[in-house]
Chain A
């Protein structure tokens, strides 16, 4: 892999127009004084993950009967405490739970109470009180709080930027690929070509920024096994992709906030228990968890990972050995910076009178309470600003105390 630092330097020398110089050199300033050293990875689980089989409440007397047919047998989970277990495919998570670097929060939901995936994901990512109330993402608004030096602090894993990271602050995207940047002649020509088209020019600048960090960090890494990062539901591709992401995040000048998306959770039919489509997805997610810790190395202590889904699934199985759209689910917290080894949240119970609308797990923790705790306690953003600008209208969702190490 060619050394992009060198070509970048040449690029900068070769640039004539003032606009291009600003576009390509602005990042340098930002790297000189990255305003935050903590890392945060937000894993977006698209499709509504079944939290009741991810972190099964095996100690609830109604778990087996309420989930008749799809409840996990004892052989399919590892107890975390006397109430909750982890699906056996969460090996890395369970190990981290035991070493205090992993936690779960049960019965979590966004403020959204309907059952559309797409509206729910809009709420999950926009951070609004309902769908389509805010047009940009809560992570982008959090980045904006770092002031004028926030460029290139954000990174989306994939070809495009999910709503959670979209907004006024430019962020990069990265996916494992073989070719890297076009040569510098082409780059210069493209830079001129795009000078009057904001969308394309921003994307090009971000591509240069990200590859400037990523390519040297990944020198000697074989990206073929990551399969283009396109099928993260494959545990091997997930592991390889996340290992690369970890290296990029480990770079002192690299991005600090990152999103990873994993789909395939919409298990309407034949979801399985110890094995099956859901168990396979757990394994892929867990491979990502394990790889994050591995790849971040000593930076793991400065890292928080939050993995959340748009809503949960029905408690009872539907007519096709799967589950339909529900309400509360589980969220995962990982990293050396958290107080792990606990399942947080108030358990609402599974008897029919305890369910939400007689079918779903009742939400007891607002997902924004977790996000706000991460932003204020971990990323050290001012609480008042987080309240006003990142999660407006979230005053009822107090930051969850104690999840981040003091």
Chain B
């Protein structure tokens, strides 16, 4: 437990200090959403209808943007070798790194959602629904993204490869996230069904993600 607590403390500290890039994701999210009303035009009804989808797309792209930091820095400075060699199971270390990453990169997106909802003419309950679906869905984005990050680091290709690997895995999350938010805003379809599936996706990726990432790291080191 001490080991995992130390790992989470270190990752959060590194991310929050200068050059750590914790705020890059949320700034990108802000940029995408702020630009959207200018691109779509001042049609309030249209913005309201598109709002949840825009917020979800922004959050998805923002989480992709920060994911390649997950293992790349540790690989470059040699820390990854020591993580692999340590007595702490690598699966647990991966899950811990994902948690730390979600806390500094995923949680700020959810906190920023109410502010951005105003720009998209979403009322209080709709904003709350989007924030709730992001809270349930972003862990899935981080955990499936971690598999891509582990593969990218062992293949020595960052950036674009990560996006290509991770996007197909995040499509179900996007579909059910937007479906649940729309259900909450329009009210003609039940909110529970897509939201439960979204939660299930997060739980399934919590089980699969750390194991897949650890396997990839173990076999790909050289």
Q: Does chain A bind chain B? A: no
Q: Which residues of B contact A (CB under 8 A)?
A: none
